[in-house]
């Protein structure tokens, strides 16, 4: 696997550390449990980081030198892709894996270049987000490198297989010219042993003596819609909002987005009902979600939305914006509610509906857990990804078989 900016070893909650890190770590671990030997290559962002970290026999993370050995915003890593591809190519020449799985478009660029040397290797691509979609929703706020969309269009034709994480992404890939025979729709997964309903209370029933609890877990970036959740909270009575994510709690005062959101909270006069926890580890996130009465995730766009899935696995009803992967994971009216993006009134209406009806919260929370268990275990995801690998290997072999005929 190649995951240039999203190491499976990274602490979550920073601007560029989120769902992709979780996905790579969980998928790699699940594949290893199935007997697959996995090496994850990522860019070295700490000078002291060891070259190789062995997570267990047959599963390791290798740090590649590409640019300065310090954290970089992912949009700046593009300047170091040639070095990354060279380092990766040397590693692949020695390791000779059966297949390379690239995560994010820049990893795809490096993987395709590195895998083409000598005896070429099959490459499977997971984009995790598409530049065209990001540009459409963010416009001038999109900080992606100018070449991203053109490169992604080239990648869909260069790789042997693509794993799309939702049906909406598959449609976008088709618009980019992807061959539907090479696209496999396999969702992200959730750790059902870590995210589960609270055993000490019925899902959806607030503990005595406290307000109804809304929880949102997110990186602190504008497109994630945290301001929408705050404005929704201001329209409700007897509801508190817990916002988890961003830097450590003590560092929130120096984070520009945290300051902007806190200013909004103050202006709306709801300081006593909104709490910013800062970055939480995975165990703390699971505990927080179990304490929720409703989970809210209302980004302007969302390639998949793993937090909503984690909330569903926790037996919590959800309110999510009707974008991207949410359209697949959330069954509107059955496991939660879908609302238009950038619409605090709609969010407040759905939360108010849940607040007024305890039986509805219980019913939706139970159905959410059932859906997560049925379709989104990492075991099921690994099976889907292995199937996609098989298709890519057959595609690559077919291309090799045709080369002599084409040459004549």
pLDDT per residue as tens digits for the range 193-225: 999 999 865 444 555 557 999 999 998 989 899
The pLDDT, as a whole number, for residue 405 is 39
The pLDDT, as a whole number, for residue 204 is 46
Geometric angle at alpha carbon 287, from 285 and 290, rounded to 5°: 110
Q: Could you tell me which of 190, 134, 121, 133 has the C-alpha nearest to residue 161? A: 121
> Do 19-189+378-407 and 212-375 agree at the fold level?
yes
Strands of the sheet with 318-321, listed across from one edge: 274-278, 239-244, 212-217, 294-297, 318-321, 336-339
Contact 213, 206 (CB under 8 A): yes
- The stretches in the chain having pLDDT less than 70 are 11-18, 118, 200-209, 399-408
Give residue limits of the domains in the chain. Answer: 19-189+378-407, 212-375
| Domain 212-375: CATH architecture, name and number where available | 3-Layer(aba) Sandwich (3.40)
The pLDDT, as a whole number, for residue 408 is 27
Task: Report the 10 Å Cβ neighbour count for 355.
Answer: 21
CB contact set of 289 (below 8 Å; sequence gap of 6+): 195, 215, 217, 295, 310, 311, 314, 316
> What span, in angstroms and rounded, lies between the C-alpha atoms of 339 and 171?
21
Q: Sort 268 into a burial class: Cβ within 10 Å, 0-12 / 13-18 / 19+.
A: middle
Distances (CA, A) of 354 to 191, 328, 365: 26, 21, 11
Query: Which CATH code is given to the segment(s) 19-189+378-407?
Result: 3.40.50.2000
The pLDDT, as a whole number, for residue 16 is 44
Geometric angle at alpha carbon 389, from 383 and 393, rounded to 5°: 145
Direct distance between the N- and C-terminal alpha carbons of the chain, in angstroms, rounded to an integer: 35
């Amino acid at each position: 696997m190649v995951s240039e900016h999203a190491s499976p070893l990274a602490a979550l909650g920073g601007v560029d550390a989120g769902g992709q890190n979780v996905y790579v770590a969980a998928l790699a671990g699940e594949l290893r449990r199935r007997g697959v030997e996995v090496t994850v290559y990522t860019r070295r962002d700490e000078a002291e980081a060891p070259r190789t970290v062995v997570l267990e026999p047959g599963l390791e993370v290798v740090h590649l030198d590409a640019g300065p050995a310090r954290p970089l915003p992912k949009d700046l890593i593009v300047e170091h892709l040639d070095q990354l591809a060279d380092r990766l190519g040397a590693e692949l020449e020695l390791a000779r894996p059966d297949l390379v799985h690239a995560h994010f478009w820049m990893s795809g660029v490096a993987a395709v270049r590195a895998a083409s040397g000598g005896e070429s290797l099959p490459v499977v691509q997971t984009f995790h987000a598409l530049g065209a979609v990001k540009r459409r929703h963010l416009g001038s706020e999109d900080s992606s490198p100018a070449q991203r969309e053109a490169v992604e269009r080239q990648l869909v034709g260069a790789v042997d297989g693509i794993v799309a994480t939702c049906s909406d992404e598959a449609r976008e890939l088709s618009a980019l010219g992807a061959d539907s025979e090479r696209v496999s729709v396999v969702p992200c997964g959730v750790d059902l042993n870590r995210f589960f309903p609270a055993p000490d209370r019925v899902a959806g029933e607030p503990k005595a003596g406290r307000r109804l609890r809304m929880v949102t877990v997110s990186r602190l970036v504008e497109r994630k819609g945290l301001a929408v959740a705050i404005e929704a909270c201001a329209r409700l009575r007897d509801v508190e909002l817990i916002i988890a994510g961003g830097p450590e709690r003590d560092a929130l005062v120096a984070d520009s987005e945290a300051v902007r959101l806190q200013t909004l909270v103050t202006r709306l006069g709801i300081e006593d009902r909104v709490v910013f926890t800062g970055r939480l580890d995975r165990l703390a996130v699971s505990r927080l979600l179990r304490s929720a009465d409703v989970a809210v995730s209302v980004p302007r766009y969302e390639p998949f939305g793993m937090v909503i899935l984690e909330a569903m696995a926790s037996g919590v009803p959800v309110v999510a914006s009707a974008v991207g992967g949410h359209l697949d994971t959330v069954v509107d009216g059955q496991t939660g509610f879908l609302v238009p993006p950038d619409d605090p009134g709609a969010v407040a209406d759905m939360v108010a509906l849940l607040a007024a009806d305890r039986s509805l919260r219980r019913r939706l929370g139970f159905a959410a857990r059932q859906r997560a268990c049925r379709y989104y275990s990492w075991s099921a995801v690994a099976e889907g990804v292995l199937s996609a690998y098989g298709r890519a290997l057959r595609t690559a072999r077919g291309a090799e078989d045709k080369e002599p005929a084409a040459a004549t």
